[in-house]
Amino acid sequence: MARWQPGSRERLQGAALDLFSQQGYDSTTVAEIAARAGVTKRTFFRHFADKRDVLFAGAGELEAVLAGAIVEAPRELAPLDAISAALAATRADSMVPRQYLRQRQTVIGASPELMERELIKFDSLTLAFADALRRREVDAVTASLEAQAGISIFRTAFARWVQSGDDEDMGPIVRDVLTQFRAAVAA
């Protein structure tokens, strides 16, 4: 009977994360990652630009999905509600197991280079959110402020979701953080 086997891309991601966790990001080479995944270095570079890219490979796709969801959200939603609806609908766990994301956050938190990369990713996501809001005819200044607020909510909710139990969905956490955020910034 055929069993599901992850492809080489997923095997490389798992191998990289295990090695980064065990021996540190800086000390791990692409050759070691490829060897542990049972593929050649050439296969590694078919999937990823470098070892850092293994941890951020899905970021562009996530950005496109979220921006698209913001543009398509019902017209009657206020901009921040449109962002939150997009975030709440993210089925991150349908793409990547939460245990992987938990381990990934630990690896990123231990490396200044990876934390920099994460900040750049969030900055790019902020610009994508603002652009999506402008396509809902929100003016540029408001769109930028809402996008930044949306990213604050996303980062806070994502951190909480990653650490939560496997049966907890992103949706209620996002809605909870949105409520907290609005109460926190109210006059």
Give the nearest distance from C-beta 96 to its own copies in angstroms: 24
> Interface with its own copies by CB under 8 A: which residues?
78-81, 115-116, 119-120, 123, 141-142, 144-146, 148-149, 152, 155-156, 177, 180-182, 184-187
Q: CB nearer to its own copies: give 64 or 119.
A: 119
- The CB-of-133 to its own copies minimum distance in angstroms stands at 10
Cα separation, 22 vs 42, whole angstroms: 24
- Torsion, Cα of 102, 106, 112, 116 (10° steps): 10
Q: Which is nearer to its own copies, 70 or 149 (CB)?
A: 149
User: d(Cα 7, Cα 119) in Å, to the nearest integer?
Assistant: 29
**Helix (H/G/I), strand (E/B), else coil: 187:** coil
Give whichever of 2 and 141 is closer to its own copies, judged by the CB atom. Answer: 141
Tell the smallest beta-carbon distance from residue 179 to its own copies (Å).
9
Q: How far apart are CA 119 and CA 157, in angstroms?
A: 16
| Cβ atoms of 103 and 186 closer than 8 Å | no
Question: Of 95 and 159, which CB lies nearer to its own copies in the complex structure?
Answer: 159
